[in-house]
Amino acid sequence: MPLHLYSVSHRECDFTAVAEAATSAKSFEAELSANTFVSGVVVISTCNRVEIYLNTAGEFDDVTDFIPALRSWNHIQGEPVLDHLFLVAAGMDSMVMGEREIRGQVRRAYDRACSRSQVDSTLGRCFEAALSTSRKVAQLAGLEEMGRSIVSVALDLAEKTVDLKGATAVLVGTGSYAGASVAALRTRGIGRIISYSISERGPEFAQRHGLESIEKEDFLLTLEQADIVVTCRGHAPVITADIVADVMERRNQDLTFVDMALSRDVEEEAGEIEGVHLIDLECVRAEVPDLEREQVMAASRLVEQGVMDLRGKMRMRNADSLVLQLRKHLSQAVADEAARLPSSGQVSVEQAVRSLQRLANRIAHVPTVNAQAAASQGRTQEWAEAFMDVFGREDDDADAPAVEAAEKEGADV
């Protein structure tokens, strides 16, 4: 199976390395999708992982020949790629076990690749099956209910320094965690959410989520009035230490920042300013909860079954070319025999029987030759089992004497 996965994640690297990988993945994706040896590519990039899923054409299996930088990434290939994809989609490989957002992130990455015509049939089957299994995990194993999202864990930490009920929050950015942040803040009784974004998506995002929206000139004044600031932008620090210091001079109470961006939105030095509480992804990673053993085991069983079912289907498809070849052979035999029949179309019973007998003899010729060869080599039982796999077995006991006789005859030769 020519499936490959190149990845950088929170399990092996710090978030700086993941952020750098996210930047590189954009150019890698373009190179891979344009390469004739690559038949499919899907890139998943989240706050704690960057993964490039590939399906390579033919026997080609080393894309690092033309992208050497990928040699430093974690690499697995073949069927283990399926295991990993299913675990990721189900939220079982996340920083927070049972993370709610990951299925949506995998779906969006897959849909994006599809829209760019980067998904071949193999990757398509893999992702569709993984997403289907992830829904079962959420519904049947209770993993999603037990597991908290990264946003929820971050807000748990924030509530140690600020009371969110009735509070005013400033939400910076429209990134992948922005929508989840809005929902999580409202669940905790936030009083007011003010959206700030310098991107073109800002107004549409604010309107879709029913948020107040501010312009750049009102940003500093709004920070002075806020109780908590949640950032989900992730390009470059939009809130510098100087900005925070200026804001804190005008305030008479502490201010909590929750930075959900892979590439920091809030400069790390801002957390050292008196009265500032800075919660980032590293803080979240240190506080992630474990799930109940029962839920994890139930989810693992569903994932294992999902992978097993997909592997079976993919292996069955490997036989498609053989089945096609068999059908072609049989069709040709029928066509040849039909050509021998009278052109008038009038066929007697005797002619029909002879024609069917010739067709049967032709179909049986190769298996007969192979049976004789197997018998001469003492492999009659092996051949018989293969024969029964192809043509079926009605009565095991009735076949036994024939097999034994054939083996004896072969041994006497």
Instruction: Just list the catalytic residues.
Output: 47
Nearest to 45 by CA among 67, 28, 62, 63: 28
List CB contacts of 55: < 8 A, sequence separation 6 or more. Answer: 2, 3, 4, 38, 39, 40, 41, 120, 122, 123
CA atoms of 385 and 410, how far apart (whole Å): 17
CA atoms of 231 and 227, how far apart (whole Å): 13
Q: Which residue has the tokens 């070319």?
A: 321
- 108 forms beta bridges with none
CA atoms of 120 and 83, how far apart (whole Å): 19
- 128 forms beta bridges with none
- As a whole number of Å, the end-to-end CA separation of the chain is 43
CA atoms of 155 and 371, how far apart (whole Å): 71
Nearest to 73 by CA among 3, 9, 2, 1: 9
List CB contacts of 392: < 8 A, sequence separation 6 or more. Answer: none
CA atoms of 42 and 54, how far apart (whole Å): 7
3-state DSSP assignment of residue 41 = strand
Q: What is the chain's Cα-based Rg?
A: 32
Q: How many residues does the chain have?
A: 413
Contact 163, 114 (CB under 8 A): no
CA atoms of 88 and 103, how far apart (whole Å): 8
Contact 37, 65 (CB under 8 A): no
CA atoms of 238 and 121, how far apart (whole Å): 41
